[in-house]
Amino acid sequence: MTAPVFVVGQLDGIGGQFVLDGPEGRHAVSVKRLAPGEDVILTDGAGHWADCVVLAAEGKDRLIVRVDSVAEEPQEQPRITVVQALPKGDRGELAVETMTETGVDAVVPWQAARCITQWKGDRGLKALAKWRATAREAGKQSRRVRFPEVADLATTKQVAALLAEADFAAVLHSDFEHGSEPLATAELPDRGEIVLVVGPEGGVSKDELALFQEAGAKAYVLGRSVLRTSTAGTAAAAVLLARTGRWS
């Protein structure tokens, strides 16, 4: 089993001994019950990380560690961004959690025309905060040191702009009139930016699809079955990660 991961504010100049306190220290001492001699990893969630060994635990929320080495994990290529239409209930958090565990680099919440859920005012801010907290916790659980970015809520025009700048732009959509290509056979770049759009429960509207296609995106399908919006992004990300070699 790999060492548990804990998040710190920054790793600049870290060395010798380090005190992990606050909520992370409490989790390490009172929940994980780490003991002297055990390995831990400290990260800022932005790619920097430190290999450490526990020296002692003090009280209920202070872990003293020895820092053995500090390194930076480079951004993997190609970078994968999933534009996720807002699902109902807590399925958005499920989508963020599983996409983080899979290896997605960024998640963009999207207020699609057919979304039942609406992020407005304080409710929207709280929902976005939950998505970001979920990405952080899932990043720790999956032993990542570069957590996915969760962007602000995007409009359809903003999503189209992302697609226009991508090296590979895709929309998960079953186009029965013209046919959609299988994502598993698409020609993918070795580097750059992949942007994948996952629509809401009601699907991507004709106007949205037209705008995305104008921006350079193509429609793709995963297979014969229809996945929920909360699981489609994870399944598609797995296909992309395997086919680009990031899982090899």
Asked if residues 40 and 54 have their Cβ atoms less than 8 Å apart, the reply is yes
Domains 5-72 and 79-243 agree in fold: no
Query: Six-digit token pair at 196?
Result: 């994948």
Q: Give the integer Cα–Cα distance in Å for 153 and 224.
A: 30
Tell which CATH architecture fits domain 5-72: Beta Barrel (2.40)
Residue written as token pair 């606050």: 22
pLDDT value at position 218?
A: 94
On whether the CB atoms of residues 246 and 190 are closer than 8 A, the answer is: no
Distance set, CA 135 to CA 48, 91, 93 (Å): 17, 14, 8
- How far is 138 from 92, CA to CA, in rounded Å? 13
3-state secondary structure (DSSP) of residue 78: coil
Fold of the domain built from segment(s) 79-243: Alpha/beta knot (3.40.1280)
Give residue 223's pLDDT: 84
Calpha distance 69→49 (Å, rounded): 8
- Tens of pLDDT along the chain (248 residues)? 589 999 998 887 787 899 999 999 999 999 999 999 999 999 999 999 999 999 999 999 999 999 999 999 999 999 999 999 999 989 999 999 999 999 999 999 999 999 999 999 999 999 999 999 999 999 999 999 999 999 999 999 999 999 999 999 999 987 644 558 899 999 999 999 999 999 999 899 999 999 999 999 999 999 888 899 999 999 999 999 999 999 98
The per-residue pLDDT for 13 is 75
The residues spanned by each domain of the chain are 5-72, 79-243
Rounded to 5 degrees, φ, ψ at 62 are -130, 120
Report pLDDT for 231. 95
Contact 119, 153 (CB under 8 A): yes
